[in-house]
Structure 1
């Protein structure tokens, strides 16, 4: 079974697919060694680790290099946060998708924060390209409705979910959710497997599983927590004039 199929099937198991988000080879290897079934990248974490702001400020070639090294150094399925595709040119977008497939990537996230119409144009173009070239890639359609504070967010997400499914999306990623009641409403009305971020208010895997969530990711939270610990450590070393905290 190829890694795309393995990754696809992980969205239909009894328990949610729990994904830790990597930003370099070492973090990805730690995630794999810990026993996770797959690895996700965080665009924000990768960008920040290289001195860029999030939001496609990192050049695509630099992102591609990091993804290539992660994939070459791990053995489980990898899904990549591709933001908005790093282009509005559909031919260039196809090239970006092909380069991800050539590396061995099993899936991507694609964001709709440019608006529903532009997103659907990109999504349909990608799915047509995959169909024409007889290739597979799990497309997790990320909707920013709640984050952008769009009116009637729950209803808008549900409506977009149907459009995105019809256009070829394999999953729905809803960011900005803060309570299980809203999560449950969306999951019950959407046919696609739903992905949420495990923020502090939604940190229980069992509660999210009970809501019907099929995928739980960490976005840049793991990255922030890890470097928060390093920040505390180096400050303790400096303040106490001792390396004892390293041991």
Structure 2
């Protein structure tokens, strides 16, 4: 069976277990709606839900893109300069330990309502894995390749472009794949506090009106969106780094 087949089977099993639990224990729809109830809620407002999903998607992608840009710059600085690592690594760890939910009201105060605080929240949530993977990848270049470049008197910039950065890409993509789902989490957190649109806003509004099925429909859309973004990144990795699959053990 192909990877898509196994993934589809996993989804079918999960949805079947959900329907079985909801039916077997006669759980009220207001607490745990059945899959059929969630589908009905989606079909009740499909255009509205897809419009809100598009808003969250834009915030997620923009926040993720900004985190990649910032993470690459800071990660390269940490990897290239020991002083930068000693100065900023403790600050990055401390910042990562701060619950980002606590920053959401402050972002509203600083930036007001709108897209900006939600994009910044997405950036903040997924920023640390990117920095960590970039710094870790650049500092784990095979030493024999570095020695070969030195023996040939290769300039540092050329060594970085031809050896260090390509060797770091597999680990960088690991960090990107961790960060991508976190970006959608950050966007939704921002929508909880500063949103007048987006899937997070739909979840809050549906929960407040006890429309649990609609909230679950928004959550399901968020999950589908995250899956698509994650596997788009996996596809990009396979296209850009074809040698990785050839040089690692097949599963």
Q: TM-score, normalised by structure 2?
A: 0.26
Q: Higher RCO, 1 or 2 (CA under 8 Å, sep at least 6)?
A: 2
Q: TM-score, normalised by structure 1?
A: 0.26
Higher-helix-fraction structure: 2
Higher-strand-fraction structure: 1
